[in-house]
Amino acid sequence: MSTAGLDRRARRRQETIAEILDVAIELMETEGVAALSLSAVARRLGMQPPSLYQYFPSKMAIYDALFQRGAEKLRDAYRAPRDAARSTDPLELNLIAATAFSRWCLGHQVYCQLLFWRTIPGFEPSPAAYAPAQEALNDLRDHLQATVDAGYLRPDATSDEALALYTSMTAGLLSQQMANEPDVSHEEGRFSRLLPVVLEMFYQRYAPTRGK
């Protein structure tokens, strides 16, 4: 969140919130996503635990803020390379976007656990926190629609069922990568490098019927 245009007190508050979230991510990386402790966050920041409640009323509120931050970062990481690409071929653009998605996820695995796996009992993101994730899903539907318009896919490739299949296939691939080779890059990963194959499987499932 930008602090431009805020007065000094409001800017300092936003900076402290950002510090809290940074520390929370660091602790989740070492202790586990579900093991986050508000007292540990406060100690790392040099503040008393009650002071933390001035910024976040509960641990779930921190998770919610982190979900929104992660979803925004992933949405932007997904958009930027595709928007900057010179190609107009939808299949190539889809691969560029999917590859950017994979690289970001492998580089931010704590966020991914929060975004894609139910690692925190009872946690549900608020509508505001979920909004950027929905924007990313809408982007995916638009990308698939462009692929339909180019004649590569049937119209039902943009259906809710098709999006569920697409996201299940790509997220499953990344889940396997993180579970088996968490420290390996997208290009070197035994599973992540199969991303073009997974996309091709999706395209075959929704390929236009010949002769119709």
Neighbours of 92 (CB within 10 A): 13
Upper half-sphere CA count for residue 7 (Cβ side, 13 Å): 1
Q: Are 205 and 165 a contacting pair, CB within 8 Å? A: yes
Q: Which amino acid makes up residue 97?
A: A
pLDDT digits (tens, 9 = 90+) for 187-201: 999 999 999 999 999
pLDDT digits (tens, 9 = 90+) for 38-86: 999 999 999 988 889 999 999 999 999 999 999 999 999 989 998 899 9
Give backbone dihedrals phi and psi of 58, rounded to 5 degrees, phi first.
-160, 170
SS3 47: coil
Q: What percent of the chain has pLDDT over 90?
A: 81
Give the whole-angstrom CA distance, residue 212 versus residue 206. Answer: 14
Question: What are the sequence ranges of the domains in the chain?
Answer: 1-57, 60-205
- The one-character DSSP state at 2 is -
Rounded to whole angstroms, the maximal C-alpha distance in the chain is: 71
What is the pLDDT, as a whole number, of residue 3? 54
| Topology of domain 1-57, CATH | Arc Repressor Mutant, subunit A (1.10.10)
Place of tokens 């690289």: 103
pTM for the model: 0.89
- Average pLDDT of the chain is 92
**Same fold for the pair 1-57 and 60-205:** no
What is the pLDDT, as a whole number, of residue 135? 96
CA dihedral sign, ordered 70, 189, 152, 92: positive
pLDDT band at 211 (very low <50, low <70, confident <90, very high): very low
What is the pLDDT, as a whole number, of residue 212? 46
| Topology of domain 60-205, CATH | Tetracycline Repressor; domain 2 (1.10.357)
Place of tokens 């290009």: 187
